[in-house]
């Protein structure tokens, strides 16, 4: 089974964007260090709605839900690491970076298994 279809890539991209925007929305709403912006909230609403519509209208191939969850988690970790690099008073981004690298390797193994098998 190939991952070359645009639907699969779109689902993974939407899951990644949803993870980025949910962490961004949380940061702008509840962190006094991060300045408020309405754009993460808009991005969260649009990406979650598009992901939900894709889920309702298209069947997910085997293995896609776990990959989508991994891309969602990757989005959360990427945003957290970027914010912590920009605002070091929040804390170190070491743990997020290590988890991102491990998750990227896991995603790579899953994608290679889908292409080859």
Chain centroid, CA 86 distance in Å: 19
- Residue 45 domain-assigned (yes or no): yes
**Would the pLDDT of 78 be above 70?**
yes
- Residue 112 domain-assigned (yes or no): yes
- Residue 35 domain-assigned (yes or no): yes
pLDDT tens, residue by residue, 28-37: 999 888 899 9
> pLDDT at position 117, please?
59
- Residue 1 domain-assigned (yes or no): no
Characterize 60-96 residue by residue with b for buried, 16 or more Cβ atoms within 10 angstroms of its Cβ, and e for exposed.
ebebbeebbebbbbbbbbbbbbebbeeeeeeeebeeb
Cα dihedral sign, 102-2-9-56: negative
> pLDDT at position 60, please?
84
> Is 8 within 8 Å of 71 (Cβ atoms)?
no
pLDDT tens, residue by residue, 23-64: 999 999 998 888 999 999 999 999 999 999 998 998 888 889
Average confidence (pLDDT) over 78-100: 93
Against a cut of 0.95, is the pTM above it? no
Domain that holds residue 48: 6-116
Strand (E) or helix (H) holding 58: none
Going from the C-alpha of 86 to that of each of 49, 92, 95, 104, 113, the distances in angstroms are: 29, 10, 16, 22, 36
Q: How many domains does the chain divide into?
A: 1
Going from the C-alpha of 20 to that of each of 16, 41, 45, 116, 117, the distances in angstroms are: 6, 11, 12, 30, 30
């Amino acid at each position: 089974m190939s991952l070359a279809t645009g639907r699969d890539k779109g689902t993974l991209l939407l899951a990644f964007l949803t993870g980025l925007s949910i962490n961004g929305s949380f940061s702008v709403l509840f962190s006094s260090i991060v300045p408020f912006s309405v754009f993460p909230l808009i991005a969260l609403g649009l990406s979650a709605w598009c992901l939900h519509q894709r889920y309702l209208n298209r069947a997910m191939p085997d293995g896609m839900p776990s990959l989508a969850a991994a891309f969602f988690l990757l989005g959360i970790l990427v945003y957290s690491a970027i914010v912590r690099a920009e605002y070091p008073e929040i804390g170190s981004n070491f743990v997020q970076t290590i988890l991102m690298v491990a998750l990227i390797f896991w995603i790579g193994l899953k994608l290679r298994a889908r292409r080859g098998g």
